[in-house]
Amino acid sequence: MICFFAFSDLHHGEVENDGRRVAELTARARELRPDFMISLGDLCPPEELDCGKSCMVFSHHSLINDFPGRGVCGQAGVRERFRGRDVLLCMNGNDHGDDFRVAEGVPYYLVNSASYMWYESIVRYKNALSVCVEIDGRELRILGMESGYITETPEDEKLGERIWNGVGIEPRTSSYTIKRQKTGKE
């Protein structure tokens, strides 16, 4: 089994208590003991995928959120490159929300911000959000976590529902189990 730990949009140096958030992320990673860690920063999607190997794609911007002004430009063309390939998971940050979708057999997971959701101002989370991903054979387990808001809530910001820019804005990273189908290349 392989296990990795991921977080997104820490915004170190921009939010109060950012040192505490780094300490929380470090403590959770030590507790979960992943094989490696990933910060979902400004990484670009690959230009080519080796069709003979399984792969995971990590990017800062979404490859699936088609809400106006969100996601990678030309994301449909990027997703087209995944067709017929064994893409285990596409994971991104940037949208400061919680989302999971499967398109044409490829799972897309949005890692919520480690720090806050953004509407017309910053609405800070109590805890630094992150996920741990376990890969065991043909099964992927995304282990998320729950948090809360420090002071304001989306309702205080007059955001009627807890969806913004096409994604959920609850203070959490959701957990999922993905059972992958055999690709015929194994």
Residue 13 has pLDDT above 70, yes or no: no
Average pLDDT, the chain: 82
Residue with tokens 């015929």: 184
Band of pLDDT at residue 149, cut at 50, 70 and 90: very high
Cα torsion for 100, 93, 83, 175, to the nearest 10°? -30
pLDDT (mean) for 14-20: 74
Partner residues linked to 107 by β-bridges? 102
User: CA separation (Å) from 36 to 3, 4, 31?
Assistant: 7, 5, 13
pTM of the shown model: 0.79
pLDDT digits (tens, 9 = 90+) for 40-55: 763 335 454 444 567 7
Q: What domains appear along the chain, each with residue ranges and CATH number?
A: 2-179 (3.60.21)
- Assess contact for 171 and 117: CB atoms under 8 A: yes
pLDDT reported for residue 74 = 77
Closest CA to 6 of 124, 98, 148, 112: 112
